[in-house]
A and B are shown apart, each in its own frame.
Chain A
Amino acid sequence: MTTLVLVLLILPIIGALIAFTSGLKKNALAFWTAEVTGTLLFLITLILLVDYKDPIDIPMRWFEFGSFSIPFGIYIDKLSLVMLLIATGLGLLDIHFAHDYMGEDPHQPRYYAKVLFFIGGMILLVSAKDMVGLFVGWEFMGLASYLLISFWHQQKDPADAGVSAFLFTRFGDIFLFAAIGLLFYLTGTLDMVKLNELSQAGKLDEEMMFVIAVFIFIAAIGKSGQFPLFPWLMRAMEGPTTVSALIHGATMVNSGIYIVARLFDFYAAAEALMVVATVGALSAFIGATSALVQRELKKVLAYSTMSHLSIAFVGLGVGSLAAGMTHLVNHAIFKALLFLGVGAVIMSAHHVKDMWRLGGLGKKLTWVALFMGMGVLSLSGIPPFSGFFSKDAVIAEAILNPGSAGLIATLVTIAGLLSMAYIGRLWLLTFAGEPRDKGLFGKVTRPSAFWIVLPLGIMAVMTLLMGFFQEHIAEMVSNGPFEEPHVAGLFFGLMSGIVLLALIIYYYYVKRPDLTEKIAAQPLIKTIHSILFNGYYIEKMIFWFAHNVIIESFAKTSHWVDQHIIDAAVNGMIGLSQRITHIFGYTHSGRVGDNSGAMTLGLLLLLAAMLTGGAV
């Protein structure tokens, strides 16, 4: 078992190296290396799942030196296994999908190497026992995400998007690093299982725990694209769609939620869950409303990702590990499905991402439309698709918890209902109605059944089937029995809301698109539209703050100090160093006689020292 786990950890890195080097000769080799590695990783995860009895616990140390030691343990319980299944399973499908999607790209070795490296980071993150391993995996993924967003780095926008992602997530990472330092200093352990136990036993200082929990949560906000650190996630859509699907839809963005779930007892004891729920509810609302008005296919999905991750956060925040994590699992599947479906559309439509130029594609891309439709139903929360159960559970838990029954529950319910509106709008504008751009419609090609449609079909079936195994999933992720929360009338209320919304968008976007344009021309609507379209101008605010407060005042002051005090001191040292070098230089004529003289002198000095030192 131990060997298998180690193989699981190392294989992606080896695969990445092989994919890169072999791919330099022939692009296809890179793909096949990635496909084989992905399959192996998934198989290993399946074996681990089938053979699972107790949590696999491998105590390892990075190094131990004197009284100082840095642990690097591996711990795989059911929660980790679920995350591993998502990472390797979706990773495999994504690689498979990329065969056609990235088929034209000349830089495939680089692409597959980075993707495998990313999967390696994710595997490390979810199987780490100590926060050191978690942090390393966290940073690996951050690096891979940056590299993949700016995969087409020759163009300006992807390169900028990569930098933006790097800076936003980095801002959060600093807090994670600080939290690790604080934990190590205060508790002496970085073992996450033990931290949960210690906090439950009440052995930790509550105020410090709260600070640490909030610090970790800030990192989670950055990684999972929550308010206010979400603008990078929208820009990240500049990367290849396969990357958006895997990293910015299904796996990496989950890691923020995973870290809170892994330290769930710690958060509960630190009484920091309400912070999680509040930020989550706010993000859910912002994401859902902004998704309503986007023009680009991928931007809709990005805002929807933000909104649904927030719903999972709210699930955790209101105290239900099972509801939050189940929603995360369901979301990963249907969001990967939707992203890859959108990828298929984009590929067939020659890289047109603007929904208003598409339309009527259902006639040509029937299977894609069908499978994406299943994803749409799951995301909107229609039974028996999996999305329904977990979303329902989160909302019910939010209502049942007295601390969140008011504003948080309202915001989350709105966000949940609006899912139907924005995703229905996306589907209708793309597949239904009449083609708006006839020239483009004529050129749309049919995607390959094996490379493109098959992975979509697998995920579509998954999202349907998982609807029947929700209790099992909930019990797995929470390591305990699961009781479905019941709120009277909730099901009926949600369903009627969803149906009503579905009818409204059908009317406005398919039957009477002219009406939509008229309404959009109203001044008030226009203002609201532009606020929502720009994500509440959060990015502008952050940039304004960064520019005026940080750069103009703080950075300029530091620059002055650096120029006039630190640099001046260093520059002053140059003259001194030159003089010292000059003096030393006198002893180095390079003449053999001088060298030999120095040696002899040294011998004499040593003897003199021995004599005066009293040795002789």
Chain B
Amino acid sequence: MFGTFSLLFVAALVSLALHRTKWLKPVALVAIFGSIFLTYSGSHIGLAGFENSEAIRLFTLILEIVLLAVILHEEEDQTLTQTLFIATASVALLQSHTLLTFIVSFEAVSIISFVLVSHIRTAAQAEGAVKMFIAGSIATGILLLGAVLYLIGGGRLGAPIAVETTALSTTGLFVMLLGLFYKLTIVPMHGWAADSYALVRHSHAAILTGVAKTVVAVAMFRFFAPFLAEHLSLSVPVMVTLAVVTMTLGNYLALFQKRIARILAYSSIAHAGYILLAFAALKSGYASTGLLYMAIAYIFMQTAVFLLLDILRKRYGIETLEALKGLAKKNGLLAFFFTVQLFSLAGIPLLAGFMGKAVVFYAAVDAGLWAAVLIALLNSALSVGYYAWIVKHLYFDEAQGPASQSNDKLPIVSQLILLAGTLTFGIFASLVFSVGNAF
């Protein structure tokens, strides 16, 4: 059975042998195109413990398209290989259906993330990588503690999460969720994120915040939603509290930052709060659609902004808002890409980010969480403050340094793909609505 998973896995292994040759990128591209084709035609891993669904198929497809953009953008051998590995692990995580496969795939994604950022060149990158590694280790500890409690409480390793649970296994599952929240950067598991996202190389941060985070969110939702829906009296207060705290904290901390990467890192934490709101809204039939939409919107816009930061750093050495001034005059195309994706993050209509938020908030209102949605809306309004602030620097300030309009081709193609995603899912909402409930 030759499916997406095996194709990506083989390609990742082969790519190791192709380092320092000109074949690495073409092979990676062929592999990812092949996997897009296989996913489109509905491939399945074909092992026990994995199961596909319509919603997962759509999300896998989008994940592969985004990774295609990442591969087009990236030039470094190490990163290309790890991108293929993370694609493999993500496909497995998204389709995993039993506790064992879930934990193993999750850890695979986690560990590949460490390998990814371990390609250290500067002291700052070392700091980012180490912080992430330590936080990740503790989170794994918590995750396994939870799993053990769940198993002692009567859970089974080779089966999906039981809906009927004992007190001990319920506690175990919540502890597991806490461990998983590390990857989602939910308060209080978020401390590492702002530093690591801002310090590691931007293309790595794009994979961490854009790709890995959304994959974990979707997989977690798929795996835990039946259980959480059964224990609403417990899950709703926990999720709502964490969601509200996370988004408020993320947005406030993003407000007065000077480095662009830091603003976006905190905005990424804030978005985790919106995503978590979908977990709280399980009473509503639209929660799964909301989560899927939010994840799809988020993977496009977040990956795009960090890849753009990578281009800006390489090309102009831009790191701070101060240095960003007048980019529109220096390089109108990049400024345009940046603006659209920032507007999408801010939730401006007809862009994917707006629809994502709209559906999640709709689901939350439908589930009766009026107060939480009100806070989320205020948070959204607050976030426009710093997104618009970046745009103001892009367009309304005088440029510094020499103008240079020429761009490398491949990163621009990669940005075009991501832009197309943001626009498509901002307008053609039916694409997601039609599979939103088929989790």
Chain A interface (Cβ within 8 Å of chain B)?
A: 61-66, 577-578, 580-581, 584-585, 587-588, 590, 592, 594-596, 598-603, 605-607, 609-610, 613, 615-616
Q: Are A62 and B429 closer than 8 Å at their CB atoms? A: yes
From the candidates A66, A590, A595, A615, name the one contacting B171 in the complex (CB within 8 A).
A615
- By a CB distance below 8 angstroms, the chain B residues around A64 are 430, 433
Question: Please, how many angstroms separate the alpha-carbon atoms of A602 and B142 in the complex?
Answer: 11
Partner of B175, one of A592, A596, A603: A603
Closest to A60 in B: B430
**Stretch with Cβ within 8 A of A (4 or more), from B15-23, B66-74, B191-199, B394-402:** B191-199
Asked whether B309 is an interface residue with its Cβ less than 8 Å from the other chain, the reply is no
User: Is B170 interfacial (CB 8 A cutoff)?
Assistant: yes
Report, nearest first, the 8 A-B pairs whose CB atoms are least far apart: A595-B191, A602-B188, A63-B429, A598-B188, A616-B167, A63-B430, A581-B252, A610-B171
Stretch at the interface among B53-61, B79-87, B129-137, B333-341: B129-137
> Shortest CB–CB separation between residue A250 and chain B, in angstroms?
30
Q: Which of B175, B192, B256, B286 contacts A595 (CB 8 A)?
A: B192
A-B contact pairs, 17 of them (CB 8 A): A62-B428, A62-B430, A66-B366, A584-B253, A587-B249, A592-B130, A592-B192, A596-B135, A598-B188, A599-B188, A600-B138, A602-B189, A605-B188, A615-B171, A615-B174, A615-B231, A616-B167
Check A588–B433 contact: CB distance below 8 A: no
In the complex, which of the residues B138, B189, B253 contacts A588, with contact meaning CB atoms closer than 8 Å?
A: B253
In the complex, the answer to whether A577 meets B286 with C-beta atoms within 8 Å is no
Contact A65 B429 (CB under 8 A): yes
Inter-subunit contact A578/B238 (CB<8 Å)? no
Contacts A61-B430, A64-B430 hold; do A606 and B178 have CB atoms under 8 A apart?
yes
Q: Cα distance A54–B389 when bound, in Å?
A: 55
Cβ of B272 to closest chain A Cβ, rounded Å: 14
Q: B256 and A606: CB pair below 8 A?
A: no
Give chain B nearest CB distance to A362 CB in angstroms. 49
Over the window 248-260 of chain B, the binary record of Cβ atoms lying under 8 Å from chain A Cβ atoms (1 yes, 0 no) is: 0100110110000
**A599 and B142 in contact (CB under 8 A), knowing A585-B253, A606-B178, A613-B234?**
yes
Distance between Cα atoms of A280 and B130 in the complex (Å): 75
Asked whether A590 lies within 8 Å of B252 as measured between CB atoms, the reply is no
Q: How many angstroms from the CA of A592 to the CA of B289 in the assembled complex?
A: 37
Interface residues of B in 231-289 (CB under 8 A from A): 231, 234, 237-238, 249, 252-253, 255-256, 285-286, 289
Q: Are A588 and B430 in contact (CB under 8 A)?
A: no
**B171 pairs with A599, CB closer than 8 A:** no
Contact of A596 among B138, B252, B286, B433 (CB under 8 A): B138
Q: A581-B252, A599-B135 are in contact. Are A615 and B430 (CB under 8 A)?
A: no
Q: Is the CB of A592 within 8 A of B234?
A: no
Chain A hits for B231, CB < 8 A: 615
CB-CB < 8 A to B138: which residues of A? 596, 599-600
- Tell whether B376 is near chain A: CB-to-CB under 8 Å: no
Q: Which residues of B contact A (CB under 8 A)?
A: 130-131, 134-135, 138-139, 142, 167-168, 170-171, 174-175, 178, 182, 187-189, 191-192, 194-195, 231, 234, 237-238, 249, 252-253, 255-256, 285-286, 289, 359, 362, 366, 382, 428-430, 433
Q: Is there an interface contact between B256 and A578, defined as CB atoms closer than 8 Å?
A: yes
B134 interface neighbour in A66, A596, A600, Cβ under 8 Å: A596
Tell me the bound Cα distance from A62 to B427 in angstroms: 8
Q: Is the CB of A603 within 8 A of B142?
A: yes
Distance (Å) between the CB of A109 and the closest chain B CB? 15
Q: State the CA gap A577–B168 with chains docked (Å).
A: 42
Q: Find chain A residues with CB under 8 A from B285 CB.
A: 66
Give the CA-CA distance A61 to B237 in the complex, in Å.
Answer: 37
Contact in complex: B134, A592 (CB < 8 Å) = yes
Report the minimal beta-carbon distance from B183 to chain A, rounded to whole angstroms.
13
Enumerate chain A residues within 8 angstroms of B194, measured Cβ to Cβ.
588
> How distant is the Cα of A607 from the Cα of B146 in the complex, in angstroms?
11
Given A581-B255, A598-B188, A603-B175, does the pair A63, B131 have CB atoms closer than 8 Å?
A: no
Chain B's nearest CB lies how many Å from the CB of A68? 9
A607–B429 CA distance with the chains assembled, in angstroms: 40
**Could you tell me if A615 and B134 are in contact, using CB atoms closer than 8 angstroms?**
no
Cβ-defined partner of A598 (8 Å) among B191, B286, B366, B382 = B191
- Residue from B139, B170, B188, B191 in contact with A615 in the complex, judged by beta carbons closer than 8 Å: B170
- The reply to whether B178 and A603 form a contact with Cβ atoms under 8 Å apart is yes
Q: In the assembled complex, which residues on chain B have CB atoms less than 8 Å from the CB atom of A63?
A: 428-430, 433
- In the complex, what's the smallest C-beta–C-beta distance from B337 to chain A, in angstroms? 16
Which A residues touch B430, using CB under 8 A?
Answer: 61-64
B139 near A599: Cβ-Cβ < 8 Å: yes
Chain A, residue nearest B256 (CB): A581
**The residue from B130, B171, B252, B362 contacting A607, defined by CB atoms under 8 A apart:** B171
Give CA–CA (A602, B237) in the complex, Å. Answer: 15
In contact, B135 and A595 (Cβ under 8 angstroms) = yes
Asked if residues B252 and A595 are in contact (CB atoms below 8 Å), the reply is no
B155 to chain A, nearest CB (A): 15
Choose among B168, B175, B182, B249 the residue that contacts A606 (Cβ–Cβ < 8 A): B175
Q: Which of B359, B429, B430 counts the most A-chain CB atoms under 10 A from its CB? A: B430
How many angstroms between the C-alpha atoms of A390 and B404 in the bound complex? 59
In the complex, A65→B382 CA distance in Å?
28
The docked-state distance in angstroms from the alpha carbon of A172 to that of B238 is 50
User: Nearest CB to that of A593 among chain B residues?
Assistant: B134
User: Measured between alpha carbons, how far is A495 from B121 in the docked complex, in Å?
Assistant: 90
A116 CB to closest chain B CB (Å) equals 19
Taken together as a complex, chains A and B put the C-alpha atoms of A610 and B249 apart, in Å, by: 24
Are the C-beta atoms of B253 and A65 separated by less than 8 Å?
no
Chain B min CB distance to A369 (Å): 46
The answer for the CA separation of A616 and B171 in the assembled complex, in Å, is: 7
Determine whether the beta carbon of B255 is less than 8 Å from that of A577: yes
Q: Which one of A581, A599, A607, A613 lies within 8 Å of B191 (CB-CB)?
A: A599
B residues within 8 A CB of A601?
Answer: 188
Q: Point out the residues of chain B lying under 8 angstroms from A61, CB to CB.
A: 430
The answer, among A66, A587, A602, for a CB contact under 8 Å with B286, is A66
Q: Which of A64, A65, A588 has the most CB of B within 10 A?
A: A65
Which residues from chain A contact B175 at a C-beta distance below 8 Å? Answer: 603, 606-607
